[in-house]
Amino acid sequence: MTDAQKAPYALRLGRYDEGAGMVGIERERKAEIPVSAELGRLFCSSIEDGNPSYWDETFAKSTWGSLIAPPAMLFAFGQPLAWSPGTRERLPQLAILVPLPGNQIINSRHQVTYLAPLRVGSRLSIWERLDQISEEKQSHLGKGHFVTVRLIFSDESGEAIAEISNTSFRFTADQESGPAAAAVQRIEVPSSPAEDRISIPDIMFKVSKYKAALGSMVSLDQYPAHYDLEYARAIGLQAISLNTMQIMGLFARFATEWAGPDSFLIENDLHLARPAYEGLLRVSGGVISPGTVNSRDNGKLVRIRAQITDAQGARVASANLLIRAKH
């Protein structure tokens, strides 16, 4: 592995049985910084999300009781800082800490259930558990293992505000199949079956290197493929790309621009297919289930299926979303 391929948190290499022996391990930690309106707005600027819940304090207080941050930034506010005084060692994510043969890692699926808004000023607590490590799988990327980690985020009062199940693929690139970029582009999310649905207006979003790097920085994402061109090319990618949080943010923006800024995203089940490089993206989709009245707040639960495609029509990601709409 070249210097360009070394991530800030180097993957811990080992045997499958060593990694499997860690399944069930749990740990708890506290976020090092509170939920920040400023970071939230910088993140919104990286995906062009103008929801007044994140920008307009008067609107946010009347709607949510306080200013809130984009739900896609939940993971960011639980990230360890790269450095802080008096701290000698950072705790890497469990998917990185677990010993496995794979020397590369990508996200595959990210499932989130939001239980409450992400309130500005809150300092989160994070409980996480290594849930599962698959046996060796052969993919277009190479041989590796799927690693699933479960996380619960809580606020200072102990109230759970979100639950996450994140699956990543730890692998060693298959040299016979060429660069990782070409392999990634052959990973497909199954197409949705034809169904009756209500179409939602598309969103067009132009990815730039600056916006990709900005989103990575403000979401405290230390994986260099999103901001370091040399690293990205060293592992076979074409260029830097949007990170998982930005992709999630685009789906959330798609849903809430249609349902209104007072709608609440409950679920975001994300499947990643390929990197979102510089260029034009289209977010499209529609409602796949009719709204049902929620007697508690007279809102409607609406399920949306959406996808992001690039300028060539290739699928970047797909998501199943559940929102509570007021209207």
Average model confidence (pLDDT) for the chain? 88
Q: Which band of pLDDT confidence, cut at 50, 70 and 90, is reported for residue 316? A: very high
**Per-residue pLDDT, 291:** 64
* DSSP 8-state assignment for residue 79: S
**Per-residue pLDDT, 225:** 87
**Per-residue pLDDT, 4:** 35
Q: Which band of pLDDT confidence, cut at 50, 70 and 90, is reported for residue 176? A: low
Q: What is the pTM of this model?
A: 0.89
**Per-residue pLDDT, 295:** 46
Report in angstroms the alpha-carbon separations of 193 from 14, 236, 286: 41, 33, 13
Instruction: Render pLDDT for 32-57 as a digit per residue (tens, 0 to 9).
Output: 999 999 999 999 999 999 999 999 99
**Per-residue pLDDT, 193:** 45
User: Terminus-to-terminus CA distance in the chain, angstroms?
Assistant: 54
**Per-residue pLDDT, 14:** 94
Q: What is the C-alpha radius of gyration for the chain, rounded to an integer number of angstroms?
A: 19
Mean pLDDT of 303-322: 97
Q: Is the Cβ–Cβ distance between 324 and 266 less than 8 Å?
A: yes
Q: Which CATH superfamily is domain 3-325 in?
A: Hotdog Thioesterase (3.10.129.10)
**Per-residue pLDDT, 134:** 96
**Is 60 exceeded by the pLDDT of residue 7?**
no
Give the H/E segment covering residue 3: none
Q: Which band of pLDDT confidence, cut at 50, 70 and 90, is reported for residue 172? A: confident
> 113 versus 326: which is more confidently predicted?
113
Residue type, 242: L
The pair of three-digit structure tokens given for residue 303, joined into one six-digit string: 């399920």
**Is 70 exceeded by the pLDDT of residue 299?**
yes
Phi then psi dihedrals of residue 270, to 5 deg: -105, 130
